[in-house]
Amino acid sequence: MRPIRAFLTKAAVPVVMAGALICQGASSADAATAVAEHPCQPYADAISQLNQQAAAHNASRNVPRPPAQFAAYNAEARQGNAAMQRAASSLQLCLEQVQAAEAPAAQPPAQARAQAPAAQPPAQARAQAPARERTSTPGLGGTQPFVAPPVPAPNAPAPELGQEKHSASGAPITPGAGGGSPSAGGPTNGKGGPEADAAEKKARNVQLGLLHGYKKVSAADRMDDIERAELDSLIRKLELGEVSATEADRQRTQLLDQASARRKLSLVRATFLDGAKKHNVSNATGEKMDGIQAERQRLTGEKAKLAEERKNLATSLGPDAKNIDDRETIKKLRLEGKRVEAERLLKLDEQFKELDRQLHKLSEELGQVATQDFAEEQGASLLYEGRPGMKGTLDAVFYKPGRPGTLFVCEAKGGGGRLGTRSIEGLDYQQGTPEYLRWMLKNDQDFRTAADEAGLLKLIETGDVTVEYHLVHAKGGPDVLVNQFNITPRP
């Protein structure tokens, strides 16, 4: 029999001739072998071999790899999915022609029309086909298709080869279909009455809102091609009522957790050009930083006392201190007649969190003051400073005129601040990576406005400005360490 690759690349359209089935593009020996086993056996063999390839492919899905290899992995998945679609379609067509060839040949036209079933949509016809048509074909068993991103037709729910299993006839068997049980993943089918149906519809709408919101805002950066395809598949199934709201919530949570775990495994970390260097701040800056550090230490002491009091009260009442902001926990305490204690616990928790916010703000201020001092020593002036605590903004950018000029982009960290990450096109990149910097320079609109007003935006975009990217870390007081990130583009 021909190798699987050659089989899949040629036109696989079976033609019935003289009562025997010949596969176009096959040799006579191949055809004879196929007829000896079953005319459609080559197609089943092709799917079986694709299943083996899929198992090897999917086993390495969460293996850490460079960004370029992720692109190759997804391309391989798309090719495998397309190959599985061709093989499954060919198998289905082959079985239909075999069935047609074996049907009684001589019937009066009128009688044939009278006995012929009414025309049905293909999906409906397959769903109602007798079990004999799906299971009695010799040599053909159920197969598990290649898990890969689907390529749906515009405005039409395409078969999800990554999610479905196919019967021997190639017809998709949708998970959860036929049972009508929410626990099995299917729709309610009205079994719970009007109130249950209304509640299920409301719950489905909530899930659809969550799914569409995530797809619009986060999916492009937080998911890879396969995960986005699975998200689209779940949305379509929920819209068609093929899964319950409960099952959709479970699958959504599982999919998001899976994407998060994959990104952590493949985190692209920042690297430095050399070791950390100590930066000696000016006397004025040192005094200012000493004042900030003294306030940090005072708040840290208050926070520790509050944490102990909160923990002791929570322990005496029963709930874990970590669950204080859980509405059900506080509601339960109130119902038990412990309203005063519950209110005290909530107040302590709010005070604790407020102190935490103040400490975070002071740490940011410590880092910003140190960064300003570092930039001034380089002869650069402030071009842009991001709003504290605002995601999607650069911490601070300075510019030093020259030929060419130099742009100093700085990550300002104070106290125990660490480098954060951003999801970009399905991968997580740490602050300090060239990919992270490129994304920020392109998407921080406040920075772009400031650069444009200074006449620097076009120079930055054309590469006519030297860009340096630094980490400035003030752990406490005037002690400051500076690292320069390596932003050499990756191959």
In order, the DSSP letters of 158-213 are ---TTT-EE-TTS-EE-TTTTT--GGGTS--TTTTHHHHHHHHHHHHHHHHHHHHH
What are the beta bridge partners of residue 400? 406
DSSP classification of residue 378: T
Of the candidates 254, 62, 54, 256, the residue with the CA atom closest to the CA atom of residue 166 = 54
Residue 404: cis peptide before it, omega within 30 degrees of 0 = yes
Residue stretches of the chain with pLDDT short of 70: 1-37, 61-72, 75, 78, 103-192, 319-327
pLDDT score of 322: 56
pLDDT score of 454: 96
Q: Give me the residue spans of the domains in the chain.
A: 1-104, 189-265, 277-484
- Residues near 8 by beta carbon (within 8 Å), at least 6 away in sequence: 46, 83, 86, 87
Between CA 427 and CA 273 the distance in angstroms is 23
Q: Each residue of 170-187: pLDDT tens digit?
A: 333 333 333 344 444 455
Sign of CA dihedral 22, 28, 34, 35: positive
pLDDT score of 237: 92
* Contact of 371 with 395, CB cutoff 8 Å: yes
